Amino acid sequence: MRHLANGLPPLLFAAALLGIWYLVAEFRLVSPIFLPAPERAFGDLAARFADGTIWEPIGSTVLRMVLGWFLASLVGIALGAAIGLTPLARDLLEPTLEFLRPLPASAMIPVAILFFGLSEQMAVSVIAFGSIWPVLMSSIFGFSHVRVRLQEVSALLGLGRMEFLRKIAIPSAMPDILAGMRSGLAVSLILAVVTEMQASLPGLGRDIFLAQRSFRSTELYAGLIMLGVLGVLINHGLHIAERRLLRWRPQRD
Amino acid sequence: MGRVWRGALLPILVLLTWEVAARSGLLLYDSLSYPSAIFRAGLGAIADGSILLATWQTCQAALLGLAIGTFAGVLLGSVLGLWSSMARMAGPTFDALRAIPAVALMPLALLMFGWGLSMEACTVAYACTWPVLIATWAAVRGVETRLLEVADVLEMGFGERLRKIVLPAAFARINVGIRIALGVALVVAVTVEIAVNPRGLGYSLVLAQQSLKADLMYAQILWLALIGFLLNAALRTVEAPGTTARPR
């Protein structure tokens, strides 16, 4: 019962916003070309769920995003381990990476187009370039902050390099790596949408773009709502996954 | 000194191999160009002012968007921070809105404003609002209750309370949010230009690629990286005095 009472005010607030939207659209305060009535936007979304046509763009956007993110995570963790654990690699690589990091990932789109054309590879490579930074930065931090005591233990036990990595370094850097991967996924959704618009690859981003080009604002808003929902779901899903993966660790907050 | 040299080793090696491989015809000139040509193209773009004009256009949109986003973020964040019941009510809705990638709003902004400064600034503003909002929210919640009680006793209105008590007390932490938003602003502005808006650095980048001027394209990317790098460095140097401005 208490739970219900706590959940009510947020719902009321959201409902109030929707109500304002409804009234603005109803009294034509803003032209319906720019702002369709909420029931039409949500109706369009519901219709696309009902006939199943929404799944295809969602599927391709999510697939592209996950592929780029996965690639970025692999490379990011490997590079992060190298830089975090060996001072030589840090000296060699870090200045270059520091120079490249502030570069907006979307600036790599023209380069990727030159190399791969308007293709899936181009999208995945741009997504990977953009979402590697959070993973890389937090992996470097995680691997370079393995407790000295643990390093001494592994030296005492005579663990080899691989064993040290697998049994001590990776588990100890895991919380940082996962946090970085979570921010990386958010970036990859953004870049998936941008590359779709730019290269006209099938997906939610292109659908929104095409809806705008042909002034179908209902579809545009339906797509925006869908992207928002997708963003919330991804973030929540990762929170849950993170908690499960780190169950072995005492909670500190 | 040894560290600096080792850090420069990789870029120098890459540039040299690139130059040699490109000149000997091992690499495709069309997509890779070569470092000396890129350098020349960059100098040319600076000399004829085109890259400076584009940079100005991008910065203009980024800063205008940042200003609007900061205003909205500080206002909304203060409201949420001062009334916790409001935060409970509006929090989930803001979380949902925040999850919409700003770039997804490009088509909407384009629909409303058409091409130009306003649609770009508008998209940037949306993206900048969130970091400022969250920082302000946290900062205002952290303002000492005693100060708020003083405001109660003096019977200050909302505007006065915000101007005289809350914002000065929370300024240092709000500043952190604004700095994050500045980085976001540049990224979003360039992205909008690359995807839809025909102005600024992003667009000239696309233009160079489409007219197969790979050298100019790389020169512009390096320029962009340099701007981002300098911006980051500048933000890091103001960080220290910003956090210690007031006695604790």
Q: How many CA atoms lie less than 13 Å away from B49 in the CB half-sphere?
A: 1
SS3 A158: coil
CA-nearest residue to A197 within chain B is B195
Q: Is A180 exposed, middle or buried (0-12, 13-18, 19+ CB in 10 A)?
A: buried
- Residue in A closest to B207 by C-alpha: A110
**Phi, psi of B213, deg, nearest 5:** -95, 75
Q: Which two tokens stand for residue B69?
A: 């986003």
By the 8 A CB rule, do A96 and A38 touch? no
pLDDT score of B244: 44
Q: How many CB atoms lie within 10 A of CB A26?
A: 11
CA distance B50 to chain A (A): 18
| Backbone phi, psi, residue B166, to 5° | -70, -55
Per-residue pLDDT of chain B (248 residues; tens, 9 = 90+): 577 787 788 888 888 888 887 777 776 666 677 888 888 888 888 888 888 888 999 999 999 999 999 999 999 998 888 887 788 888 888 888 888 888 888 888 888 888 888 899 999 999 999 999 988 888 888 887 888 888 888 888 878 888 888 888 888 888 888 888 888 898 899 999 988 888 888 899 888 888 888 888 889 998 988 888 888 888 777 654 444 444 43
Other Cβ atoms closer than 10 A to B83: 12
Q: Please enumerate in sequence order all residues whose Cβ is within 8 A of that of B5, keeping only pairs 6 or more positions apart, or say none.
A: none
For residue B127, the model assigns a pLDDT of 92
- Residues 68-87 of chain B with CB under 8 A from chain A are 85
Among A96, A103, A227, beta carbon nearest to B104: A227
The two tokens of residue B94 are 């803001």
Q: Give CA–CA dist A188/A127, Å, rounded.
A: 5
Kindly provide the ipTM of the predicted complex, given to two decimals: 0.78
Closest Cα in chain B to A225: B100
Determine the pLDDT at residue B126: 93
Number of other CB atoms surrounding residue B119 within 10 Å: 23
Of B97, B206, B229, nearest to A99 by CB-CB distance is B229
A82 chain-B contacts, CB cut-off 8 A: none
Residue A3 confidence (pLDDT):
57
The beta-strand segments (E) located in chain A are none
B9 touches chain A (CB under 8 A): yes
Residue among B101, B208, B225 minimizing CB distance to A190: B101
Q: What distance lies between CA A33 and its chain's CA centroid?
A: 31
A219: closest chain B residue by CA: B108
With pLDDT > 70 as the criterion, what percentage of chain B qualifies? Answer: 92
The amino acid at residue B146 is R
Q: How far is B219 from chain A (nearest CA, A)?
A: 12
Q: How many CA atoms lie within 13 A of A107 on its CB side?
A: 27
Q: What pLDDT tens digit does each residue of chain A (253 aa) get?
A: 455 566 777 788 888 888 888 888 878 777 777 788 888 888 888 888 888 888 888 889 999 999 999 999 999 999 999 998 888 888 888 888 888 888 888 888 888 888 888 888 899 999 999 999 999 999 998 888 887 787 788 888 877 778 888 888 888 888 888 888 888 888 898 899 889 888 888 888 888 888 888 888 888 888 888 888 888 888 888 888 888 887 776 654 4
Helices B214-243/B35-47 angle, 10° precision: 70
Q: Which of A10, A34, A96 sits opposite B91 (nearest CB)?
A: A10
Q: What is the pLDDT of residue A250?
A: 62
Q: Does B196 touch chain A (CB under 8 A)?
A: yes
A196 vs A217: CA distance, rounded Å: 19
